[in-house]
Structure 1
Amino acid sequence: MSLKIYLCDDQALVRGGFRMLIEAEDDLEVVGEASNGQQAVRDLTRRPADVVLMDIRMPVMDGVEATRALVEADNPTKVLVLTTFDLDEYVFAALRAGASGFLLKDARPDDLLSAIRDVASGEAVVAPSATRRLLDHVVQHLPTGTGERTDDPRLGLLTEREREVLGEVAKGATNGEICRTLYMAEGTVKTHIGRLLAKLECRDRVSLVLFAYETGIAKVN
């Protein structure tokens, strides 16, 4: 069964290019498109997709508000944010709103296709392998990156081992690297990450990274 992809971008040429690229793949199909976030939310409310490629800056409703609307409605569609600007402040807001990752519009076609499949499978595009890029280019600009939410009650739910794993995730470590650093089996690492996601009510590793920095478990250099 093909993955259902929805396109949301205010430029018809961009949508057309994505459509041609995606529909050339046997396992992907475009099921709809919109020129603004409001239309996308309306369409996806009626018929969710597996992944929506969401532009950030659009008229009527931007990608941040559209992402927030989908997440708050518990819509199962995963959001992959697309942006022209590597340090676009709207990316931060979109990740906080619940986007599963972000990608530059000038990314290589293979990277875009891989990102779509990763997001659909539950992985976050900016993690684990690309979390370092998030840290290098995004986290230092987070206004809450100084660890202001140290009183978050969810911190009390974590074991010491879970805190250690969370710290490694925040550094951009892959599961294999966490295994070697903390001397754990890969299955154990996956179990800890699953528990972190559940206890902290996070959707993916992107959310874990943001939580770690916002609460001071991880520090901005």
Structure 2
Amino acid sequence: MDQDKIKRQNLISIGSIITGIIMIIFILNFNNPNLRGQFSSIFSNFGSDSGGSSTQNRSSDSSSSSEEDSRPQNGQISQQEKSSLSDQEAVALIERWQNSKQQIFAPPYNRRLASRILTGEAYTDNSGAIDWLEDNGGYYTYNLTSIEDTSNFYQNGNSGHIEVVVREQRTLCMNGRPSQDDNTIDDKRLVRYNLRNERGEWRISSYDTQNVINQRSNPNKSCEL
């Protein structure tokens, strides 16, 4: 038993001596520039999978952040461009409304088309008129619609207005026959149209008659669709 213990102690002592010698050799050789370069290369390669990736991610995040910062600015510019309205565009919107009435106030009573042109009070009022016509077997025909003059165009942000002289020859037909009231008329009046921008699309939000210029019974009344 004592001999085994002595052997173990000798082995431990020899191991300690060998370890000490290796450490001394390592320290002495580390002063060699070539050896230092090899160790530097080893540690550099070890860190490239984590540290380098992290740096790349930070760079990517920074780049992505820069792009995100620029996108709202571009979006704001785009929104500003969409909110701008010229007097020609305002007149074109009124013309579109006039030319669409035959499809809106007669079969097929195109409410979707109305919603693309009208909003707010204008849409609500005309939607009610469509309901009444459809429920009572009525519809309008238009022999003539025209814009004869425009004035007082104004636009600020998402709202604006324009005054337009419009002329209509229209016939209210009930059960396929022209009405004999003032809904079957040749009408010329000055109308102020209020406009609103909604999600980049300009629509008519309301309109009011400023002056009835001329009005008479429609000489060309017709219920032909």
TM-score computed with the length of structure 2 as normaliser: 0.22
**Greater Rg by CA:** 2
TM-score computed with the length of structure 1 as normaliser: 0.23
Flag the structure with higher strand content. Answer: 2
